[in-house]
């Protein structure tokens, strides 16, 4: 089964000027650690990067908004994975 990372425990520095490179580095680190460049692993890495953006941009005092965004990210990831599973389950059609 495809593993969904825990976004709620994500901690990110609020450093200035290097935000984009930090997020891209997080994606690269994730892909490197899994040793996979499949669509699934890249989708997971990009979703994790989006979670980093939520952590950085939504204040802690807006907990309900943060949780709603995390839930939306998780829902979108699950939906995408389900579509990939369905596509893989279909027999390949010959031309």
pLDDT, one tens digit per residue, over 61-81 is 887 887 887 788 778 777 877
Q: Is residue 68 part of a domain?
A: yes
Whether pLDDT at 14 is above 60: no
Task: Say how far apart CA 84 and CA 10 lie, in whole Å.
Answer: 26
Q: What is the DSSP letter of 94?
A: P
Per-residue pLDDT, 29: 74
Flag whether 65 is in a domain: yes
Query: Over the range 30-55, which residues count as b (16 or more CB within 10 Å of their CB) and which as e?
Result: bbeeeeeeeebbebbbebbbbbbebb
Asked whether residue 62 is domain-assigned, the answer is: yes
Write b or e for each residue in 70-85: b if 16 or more Cβ atoms lie within 10 A of its Cβ, otherwise e: beebbeebeebbeeee
The number of domains in the chain is 1
In a domain, 26, yes or no: no
Residues ≥6 apart with Cβ < 8 Å to 41: 30, 31, 34
Q: What pLDDT was estimated at residue 85?
A: 78
Residue 44 placed within a domain: yes
DSSP 60: G
Q: What percent of the chain has pLDDT over 90?
A: 0
Q: Are 40 and 81 in contact (CB under 8 A)?
A: yes
Domain range enclosing 61: 39-88
Does 46 fall in a domain? yes
pLDDT tens-digit series, residues 15-59:
444 555 666 666 677 677 777 667 777 777 777 777 777 776 777
């Amino acid at each position: 089964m495809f593993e969904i990372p825990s976004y709620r425990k994500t901690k990110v520095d609020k450093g200035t000027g290097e935000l984009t490179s930090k997020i891209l580095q997080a994606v690269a680190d994730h892909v490197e650690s899994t040793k996979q460049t499949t669509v699934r692993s890249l989708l997971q890495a990009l979703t994790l990067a989006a979670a980093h953006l939520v952590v950085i941009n939504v204040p802690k005092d807006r907990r309900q908004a943060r949780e709603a965004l995390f839930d939306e990210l998780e829902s979108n990831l699950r939906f995408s994975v389900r579509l990939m599973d369905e596509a893989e389950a279909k027999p390949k059609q010959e031309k």
